[in-house]
Structure 1
Amino acid sequence: MKNFLIILVIATIAYAVNQQKSSSSKPSSNTQLNTSSIEDQRIQKAFRNQQSDIQVKGSGSVIKVLPDDTKGSKHQKFILKLASGQTVLIAHNIDLAPRINSLRKGDIVSFNGEYEWNSQGGVIHWTHHDPQRRHEDGWLKHKDKIYK
């Protein structure tokens, strides 16, 4: 009986040590949230300070799909709500990049583009490649497909 208790104690300690090691070696589920939070904070700061021309990345949920803007360069337009609660208008140039045809309210879209301040939360544009290579290429990601 004494040997059984010793084995049980050793097994319990070994299990606890193993659990602690495996949980500390796994990336935290908050890692992506922390990255998104940092980017959201950059966008919120730019909005508060009325700054523009800032390259940003992030993601949000589509809350409204707007009609395409067909005056001048054609743009697909929709509004994203970020995790912070801030909304931004995405103006995606569909003369230079493919249109997201399957976009629906509630979809998650990730982006890399340039933030421009406006009183309603801001606009993200340059979500496409720059054919003249003078600007950082941007993109949109929807359902694991990248549009640039």
Structure 2
Amino acid sequence: MIFAIVAVALALSQVELDLPPLDAGKTTASVTGSSLIEQAFTNQQSDVQVEGSGTVTKLLADDLKGSRHQRFIITLASNRTLLIAHNIDLAPRIDALAVGDTVYFYGEYEWNQRGGVLHWTHHDPRGHHVDGWLRHHNRVYQ
């Protein structure tokens, strides 16, 4: 019963904020996002769709080779760090991003020895890949 009330409250708050809707599958992924990333890291898996959140610990220079990407590092609840590579040719840049901010994400995890990279945090203009997103200060970037 409590879970149903929380789910309804989340759904209503997202309508008011114009956030991507949560469905049962994404709610589960959100709760276990850090665990899914830990599992993918341990198993050296890539191409894993994950949802979660982390705290910005470092802002990096944009990657300007090929498609431009805003890059920053977040720390997850598990203390694992994750590089976010957000395509700013396809999605808006997060201009107000600062160290210490919380960022929520839905994208594709790629394994590397440093903790991994999250990309596909944007819509796919060709419609072949699951759309991802970043959320910062209740604004969605996709």
Unaligned runs of 5+ in 1: 1-22, 28-33
2:29 and 2:51 in contact (8 A); partners too: no
Q: Which has the higher helix share?
A: 1
Alpha-carbon distance in 2 for matches of 1:136, 1:98: 18
Q: Map of 1:52-63 to 2, 5 A cutoff?
A: 52-63=46-57
1:76 aligns with 2:70: yes
TM-score, structure 2 normalization = 0.80
Percent identity of equivalent pairs:
58
User: With structure 1 as the length reference, what TM-score do the two structures score?
Assistant: 0.77
State the 4+ residue runs in structure 1 displaced beyond 3 angstroms. Answer: 23-27, 34-37
Contact 1:37–1:84 (Cα < 8 Å) also in 2: no
Q: Confirm or deny: 8 A CA contact 1:63 1:106 kept in the other structure.
A: yes
Q: Give 1:65 shift.
A: 0.4
Q: State the match for 1:119 in structure 2.
A: 113
Displacement of 1:119? 0.2
Structure 1 counterpart of 2:81, one-letter code: T
Q: Does 1:38 align with 2:38?
A: no
RMSD after superposition: 2.1
**Counterpart code for 1:61:** T
In the alignment, which residue of structure 2 is the partner of 1:139? 133
For residue 136 of structure 1, what is the amino acid of its counterpart? V
- In the other structure, the counterpart of 1:106 is 100
Per-residue CA deviations over 1:112-132 (Å, capped at 9, x if unaligned) read 000000000000000000000
Q: In the alignment, residue 144 of structure 1 is paired with which amino acid? A: N
Offset of residue 26 of structure 1: 6.7
- Equivalent position amino acid for 2:41 in 1: F
Is the contact between residue 86 and residue 119 of structure 2 (CA under 8 Å) also seen in structure 1? yes
Q: Distance between the aligned counterparts of 1:73 and 1:35, measured in 2?
A: 28
CA distance in 2, matches of 1:75, 1:117: 18
Once the two structures are TM-superposed, the CA of residue 38 in structure 1 deviates from its matched residue by: 1.4
Q: In structure 2, what is the equivalent of residue 7 of structure 1?
A: none
